[in-house]
Amino acid sequence: MADVVDKNEPEIPLEELRLMFTRQDGFMKTLGADIIDIGPGTATVRMAVSKDHLNFNGSCHGGCIFALADCAFGVSSNTHGVMAAGIDAHITYQAAAYVGEILTARSREISRSRKIATYRIEVESENNGLIASFTGTVYIIGIPHSPEAR
C-alpha cells in the first residue's frame, strides 16, 4: 500500500530502522526473536521454539505465538518512519507448535489511512504449516522515529 503512505513522512532507511528496532526492543530479545526482513508496511520475524516458550501442557504457549506475531505487527506498522501504537488485535490458533520448530511471522499492511492502519500476520512453522492467523490495527501517532532522539 505504498501509494497511500504520506509523502511527507521522514525517510529513515529500512535497514537502519531494522537495526534500531532490534537494538531497542527488550521484549523481542526476551522472546529470542529476530527481525529477518523489513519493507514498507511489511516485516518478517522468526523464533525457534525452546522449553522457555512452553505452556504447562507442553506445547508452545499461545501467548508466545501471539507475541511473535505481534513483533511482526509492531515492526511493520512502524516502517513508515512515524510511531504507531496498537489499538486491538485478534488471533486464531490453527495448530500447536513444539520444541525445535522454527516459527516465522510475516506481516503485511491491508489498509492505511491518515490515522489508522490494519495488518494481517500469518505465523507458520517450517515443517508444520499454518500455526496462527493474526489481525491487528494501529493508531498512527505520527511522531517521527529518530535515531538521534533515542
Q: Is 148 helix (H, G, I), strand (E, B) or coil?
A: coil
Of all residues in the chain, what percent are helix, strand and coil, respectively (each to 5)?
A: 25, 45, 30
* Residue in 12, 54, 142, 144 binding a copy of itself, rule: CB under 8 A: 54
Q: How far is CA 87 from the centre of its chain?
A: 14
Q: Which of 5, 60, 67, 2 is nearest to 30 (CA)?
A: 67
Pick from 3, 8, 15, 56 the residue near a copy of itself by CB under 8 A: 56
Smallest CA-to-CA distance from 74 within 82, 85, 63 is with 85
Window of 8-16, 36-44, 134-142 that interacts with a copy of itself by CB under 8 A: 134-142
CA contacts within 13 A on the Cβ side of 36: 12
Q: Is 16 in the site for a copy of itself (CB under 8 A)?
A: no
CB 4 within 8 A of CB 113: yes
Residue from 102, 128, 133, 144 binding a copy of itself (CB under 8 A): 133
CB closer to a copy of itself out of 36 and 130 = 130
CA-nearest of 68, 136, 71 to 102 is 68
Select 6 or 115, whichever has its Cβ closest to a copy of itself.
Answer: 115
Shorter beta-carbon distance to a copy of itself: residue 40 or 147: 147
Q: Does 98 bind a copy of itself (CB under 8 A)?
A: no
Part of the chain binding a copy of itself (CB under 8 A), chosen from 8-16, 36-44, 130-138:
130-138
- Which residues contact a copy of itself by CB under 8 A? 20-21, 24-31, 50-58, 60-64, 66-71, 73-74, 78, 83, 85-96, 110-111, 115-116, 118, 120, 130, 133, 135, 137, 139
